[in-house]
Structure 1
């Protein structure tokens, strides 16, 4: 069904992405979108560069080629960007709260009624504070419910959050962080009979890292653990592995350029997050595009992909036994063969790569302009499997 036009009748000539900071999870997506649309001017306007905390996690961003970065703009610059050609510029806001640059830009966009889209992870709805956030959204987002051209809701929990917050279901589309596949590294066949289980990210309780170790306790003859990253739970995890007699490796933080080598050495990636604060989970996209099967909880946005059994298994949070059962199921299903890895990587790249995301975003704009039907959800595999 075609919607009424919600973007200006004038042809869009510029798109400005308003972001909290520079991010490797978006940079290649911007580059891909700009390459596919050479007649569009693409700008990323970020409140700050990569935060130090993220640099310590291995984040880096290359200088843009096809688009332009503007970092920490003052109010004069923000005003000029928005008012220069208001009817032919589309604004894409990564969130609507807390970030000074985004707050200022949104207010100006509202004042001149410029066309805009919200691209955002959900807020965490769990618990008492989550209910307060929902009430706050109902009380403060009326303008956005009525005027945002679309909501690009990131992850499994994105669309339900925005619909619960009163946004029209017809305007909410699923979205993701579309990233390049890890640098290709040949799959390394295991020299033992052990299944190699990996975790890549911050070693914190919210990520369910303790559940990962507990899940393989008693499987010493079948499992080897491989952790990449750092955090406050590192020493606890090492002690747990030693006490349980689990073969393990702790690699520390690895640069983004080396994640391909990490994935070539594991059979399963586990992300057992216990909070919906994990809006997407880019490591899942990277693992799947490298051919690795994944186990994750529904708290993780990218777990929506695991509804397809080729990609892995979705298990309840706070449940090491469910993780253990999923590991046994994957082993029994023979999911780690080179043929299965190749098929997994092929399909994942078709729907999760930066290029795939750019094509999907183009389809969304065409739909909003009334030039086409609403696009299929990005994770639909129909056209690739048939």
Structure 2
């Protein structure tokens, strides 16, 4: 089969999926730019995309030619109207009535802003819903959001972001004979990521964990540094590249992602691939990867019995992650969120939109 992916950037969160898919099919990736400044600031670099052919910043004539040359392909878009070049190509593909899949993250669904966002997607559904063959939604919140906006249930498929599987390095694992778990946070230092709430909880429960190390940068960095100035067990490690973060993960037991909102949260994938347990907000798409038993658990902003504080204390009581548990967690990711498993699932989605199987037969490997 032929696939054309229209995206804003060359994303590390799609690289392992597209690289694997390119070994089986003809893949063309068309992007507005290689990387944006925010991602460069987050330590991203251009990932290996395998046999995928990449075109950067095409002009209008090139977009027209690419579409005409790939009329038999399935065209996959990052959002509907989120990015100018992607939206331009989307409307041209709609006009030719070609096969269309769309990646979408949940929109902000609460408050006045959420009301108008829902109206926006209701309008987009009225305009384009009949032309979209499948909507690839991130997390359970994404599914709820687009059902409420009126998109057909039979066209909605679970999706996520996927990171490259690295060899599990047992020799790099070190808990320094700790008796208490080590906590890691990786992400922006801002209000949405809610890192200061995590710090406040840890300051309240000193002695129940070995350390909380924080990696990232953002507008609240100075306030964070001031808050932890006298804390012996909480350290701010500054910004690090993605590879540096991955090398460090084997040293920690629990990753915490306390975001108020996260379309997915690929750092959850990376932590699980390194055998860490994860605590993430229920508003984080990747919380669907957590089982509440072995891999970690989602906390709630609404249910006080499942607050961040209570869930964190529950998992701290479990102690450090043993080598056997770490191996089991990492092994689960190999058959649930690896490039091979996701590529096979994507092929199943394409079979469904072509009428070769039913919607009920298409189940995401991380949910099966």
TM-score, structure 2 as length reference: 0.92
- 1:344 is paired with a residue of what secondary structure? helix
* 1:210 maps onto 2:196 in alignment: yes
The answer as to 2:16 corresponding to 1:28 is yes
Aligned pairs (5 A) from 1:230-241: 230-241=217-228
Q: Which runs of 5+ in 1 are unaligned?
A: 1-12, 382-386
User: What's the offset of the Cα at 1:183?
Assistant: 5.8
1:308 and 1:33, CA in 2 relative to 1: closer, same or farther beyond 3 A?
farther
Q: Answer yes or no: is 1:79 the counterpart of 2:67.
A: no
Structure 1 residue 293 corresponds to structure 2 residue 277:
yes
1:322-333 correspondence runs (5 A): 322-333=307-318
Q: Distance in 1 between matches of 2:3 and 2:283?
A: 31
Summarize the alignment of residues 228-377 of structure 1 with structure 2, pairs less than 5 Å apart. Answer: 228-243=215-230, 245-275=231-261, 278-317=262-301, 322-334=307-319, 336-373=321-358, 374-377=361-364
SS of 1:180 mapped into structure 2:
coil
Partner SS for 1:48: coil
Higher relative contact order (CA 8 A, sep 6+): 1
Question: How has the CA–CA distance of structure 1 residues 248 and 183 changed in structure 2, closer, same or farther, with 3 Å as cutoff?
Answer: farther
Query: Separation in 1 of the partners of 2:204 and 2:300?
Result: 20
**What is residue 109 of structure 1 aligned with on the other side?**
93
- The separation in 1 between residues aligned to 2:289 and 2:363, in whole angstroms, is 14
CA spacing shift, 1:148–1:296, aligned 2, 3 Å: same
Check the 8 A contact 1:183/1:260 in 2, yes or no: no
Q: Secondary structure at the match of 2:140?
A: coil
d(CA) in 1 for partners of 2:17, 2:307: 35
Corresponding residue for residue 179 of structure 1: 163
The CA deviation string for residues 84-127 of structure 1, in whole angstroms up to 9 with x for no partner, is 241x1110011011412112111211211111111111211121
**Alignment partners' CA distance in 2, 1:333 and 1:247:** 19
Deviation (angstroms), 1:320? 12
Q: Distance in 2 between matches of 1:179 and 1:32?
A: 12
* Contact map agreement 1:46 1:70 (CA 8 A) in 2: yes
TM-score, normalisation: structure 1? 0.88
Matches of 1:258 and 1:356, distance apart in 2: 26
Aligned to 2:174: 188
Give CA deviations for 1:139-179 in whole Å, capped at 9, x if unaligned: 23314321211111112311111111111111101100121
In the alignment, what sits opposite 1:227? 214
Native 8 Å contact 2:15 2:164 kept in 1: no
Gaps of 5+ in 2: none
**Residue 148 of structure 2 corresponds to residue 164 of structure 1:** yes
SS where residue 204 of structure 2 aligns? coil
Contact 1:269/1:294 (CA < 8 Å) preserved in 2? yes
